[in-house]
């Protein structure tokens, strides 16, 4: 009985432990379209966090939105330095732009090229219930944070 109780406490604290490494501020999504068919359309995502350690200790590098995989970097808001470098205690943002360009506009790719793209995708590491799963390393150990829901912003009619 004690073992079951201990496992329940551990399972319920997974995202709480993540929040010791950073404070989750917000997650937003916004649909957009470029105005012309060849410009494409898509969804821009932004996740804002306040890390408790700098980029030498914690690195945000992967996200799955649904079952789609994206490589990401955190950008310290207001800082004009390389992406992925940030200081502890300052707000950082992670941006993802899921772009869709119609294949009928000359953007088709071969089966071999698609197989190469698919080969480089990293599968979702575990089942999650939210809209996205953020992956990061903390002191060299891989960790995950589930984003329950994106707050949807009004559609933007210009390409991001």
pLDDT in tens, the chain (160 residues): 554 444 444 444 344 445 589 999 999 999 998 877 777 888 999 999 999 999 899 999 999 998 888 999 888 876 655 667 888 999 999 999 988 876 655 555 556 666 666 656 788 888 999 999 999 999 999 999 999 999 999 876 654 4
C-alpha distances in Å from residue 101, one per residue of 11, 32, 105, 117, 139? 40, 12, 8, 16, 38
- How far apart CA 136 and CA 140 sit, in angstroms, is 9
Per-residue tokens: 99: 């772009």
Give 6-13's long-range contacts (Cβ < 8 A, gap of 24+): none
* DSSP state letter for 150: P
Q: Which neighbouring-strand residues pair with 99?
A: 42
Residue with tokens 């319920």: 12
CA gyration radius for the chain?
18
26 CB-near residues (< 8 Å, 6+ apart): 46, 47, 48, 151
**Backbone phi, psi, residue 114, to 5°:** -65, -40
- How far apart CA 49 and CA 26 sit, in angstroms, is 7
In this prediction the pTM is 0.75
Domains of the chain listed by start with CATH number: 18-101+119-152 (2.60.40)
């Amino acid at each position: 009985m004690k073992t079951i109780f201990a496992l329940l406490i551990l399972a319920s604290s997974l995202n709480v432990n993540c929040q010791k490494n950073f404070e989750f501020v917000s997650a937003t999504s916004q649909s957009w379209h470029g105005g012309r068919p060849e410009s494409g359309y898509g969804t821009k995502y932004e996740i804002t966090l306040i890390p408790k350690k700098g980029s030498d200790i914690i690195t945000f590098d992967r996200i799955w939105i649904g079952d789609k995989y994206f490589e990401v970097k955190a950008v310290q808001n207001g800082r004009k330095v390389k992406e992925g470098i940030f200081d502890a205690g300052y707000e950082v943002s992670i941006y993802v732009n899921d772009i869709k360009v119609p294949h009928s506009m000359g953007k088709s790719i071969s089966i071999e090229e698609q197989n190469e793209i698919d080969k480089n995708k990293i599968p979702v590491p575990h089942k999650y219930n939210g809209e996205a799963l953020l992956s990061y390393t903390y002191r060299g150990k891989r960790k995950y944070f589930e984003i329950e829901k994106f707050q949807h912003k009004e559609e933007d009619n210009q390409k991001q």
